[in-house]
Amino acid sequence: MSNAIKPSFSIECEKSVLGAILTDGNALNNIKHKLSSSDFYLAKHVLIYNEMLKKSSDGEPFDTALLFSSIEEAGLSNEIGGIDYLSDLMMTVEQPGYAELYAKRILELSKKRKIDALFIELTESMSGSVNQTEAIAEFNESVSKIESNSNNDGLFSEIVFDCESALDMDEPDFWIDGYLPKDSFSMVFGPSGQFKSFIAMDIACTIASGISYHGNEVEAAPVIYMTGEGQRSIKLRKLAWQVKNKVVAKNMGILPRAIDMTSSSASFHLSEAVKDFEKTKGIKPKLLVIDTLNRSFGDGDENSTQDMTKFVKSCDEFRATTGCDILIIHHSGKDVLKGARGSSVLKAALDNEFSVERVGEDLRGRNVTLSCSKCKDGQEPPDMTFYMKTVPLGKKDKKGRELDSLVPELTESPTEKYVDTGKQAFIDIVKKLDNKATMSAVLKEFKNNMPIGVDQSQAAAVLSSIASNCGAYVYGGRYHLPD
């Protein structure tokens, strides 16, 4: 069915609008807020227009030579047909003053392609076991959104005065319910050696296979895992995950090389990989894992606002072009409480941020806690504590040693355990303080005696649970133990 619909596009209009921009320096200012690079059909035109937008955003004037120089520096000169193609664009345009009319036509055709794609998706879904009424309703809603966006007459039409409609809007959708929302730019960070990549592999394989994420519902979607670190070990981690969970994550593909995301060509190359993935597998990836940021940062400086802005911009362009979400794996310093390394530009751009930290001070310990440190929409989900379990892979290396890897296994956190084991400590403190066992005094003493690994910020809640469990009560501002 997909072959029955011919894509709607006009090479002439695309060439004319690009030629008009090269001919008239003001043309881009009049259309850049209406026309995006994703509205172009030809890949070379997407590249050229992206570079024009980048120059404009940076406040840099450009002509054919300067534009080609930037494209050539990004290693994409062959993709656009060389400088001759740029020169030909200027010769193509008949009316430079018609740039807005050319752009309008490109937008109309882009809208038609999007609606055609939705129709193909609807038709293909009808052959499955989907609810046809719901599928048609979703199709109509998506078409309405496309129509609404294309009929926008200006920014004023986007200004909202009545916000009560938000109460009836659909709640955010999640890949992992409560933890990883759709349409998001997220990050997992922590000090070196804290099992971040194992956590990321667990997330990626879970979404790719659609099984529950440690008790939380998951919507299945294909995933690309881009790694520049430990390429052999990454494959072993996926294998170990499959062995432990008895599930094959067939839609989780590993890209065993790092792409420099500070380069203007990064978005293009990754977008092409997504297209090839869809052509080959028949399904479109919905999540890209970047492991790690440092390996995908080229020669850039993580602390540089300018370099980090380039990284974020490439990620945004990739997401806009492909519809893929991004999950970044990044390092922090030794103190995870100080946040991830580098410019604050990154955290400001994130929708969700998670920290990973080993429980306790034993560097050989295998218990780690995953905590949400930023949640753009909604309430931060509860922490999860994992034990990194060794999973044998059923094969030995050249020296006869069993090949294995680690897979996260949900376990009770030390703080939760202390609700059961801390009872005697509470009783001893109350007896010791006797008639001075005020709520504040007991809490202070209790907090000071909490063992390593137990979250002291939860001391009041833990104390309240223990007191309730053992029958203690407060009277006259002091704790009293049962007889």
Determine the distance from the C-alpha atom of residue 90 to the mean position of all C-alpha atoms in its chain, rounded to a whole number: 39
Residue 439 in this model has a pLDDT that exceeds 70: yes
Residue 160 in this model has a pLDDT that exceeds 80: no
Single-letter amino acid code for the residue at 242: Q
Q: What is the mean pLDDT of the chain?
A: 86
Predicted confidence (pLDDT) per residue in 29-80, tens digit: 888 888 888 889 888 898 999 889 888 887 888 888 889 888 888 888 888 9
Predicted confidence (pLDDT) per residue in 458-471, tens digit: 788 888 888 888 88
Residue 175 in this model has a pLDDT that exceeds 90: yes
| pLDDT for res 222 | 96
- Cα–Cα–Cα angle for 383, 384, 390, rounded to 5 degrees: 155
Predicted confidence (pLDDT) per residue in 185-204, tens digit: 999 999 988 899 999 999 99
- Mean pLDDT in residue range 226-245: 89
Residue 127 in this model has a pLDDT that exceeds 70: no
**In this structure, how many other beta carbons lie within 10 angstroms of the beta carbon of residue 434?**
8
- Mean pLDDT in residue range 405-423: 83
| pLDDT for res 164 | 73
| pLDDT for res 356 | 93
Predicted confidence (pLDDT) per residue in 323-361, tens digit: 899 999 999 876 667 788 999 899 999 999 999 988 766
Predicted confidence (pLDDT) per residue in 366-398, tens digit: 889 999 989 887 788 888 999 999 999 999 988
Residue 1's pLDDT band, with cuts at 50, 70 and 90, is very low
- The DSSP output letter for 22 is H
Helix/strand/coil for 128? coil
Q: Quick one: what percent of the chain has pLDDT higher than 90?
A: 36
| pLDDT for res 3 | 45
Nearest to 421 by CA among 432, 412, 434, 433: 412
Residue 128 in this model has a pLDDT that exceeds 70: no
Which residue stretches of 287-340 are H helix? Answer: 305-322
Dihedral angle over CA of 417, 421, 423, 428, nearest 10 = -130
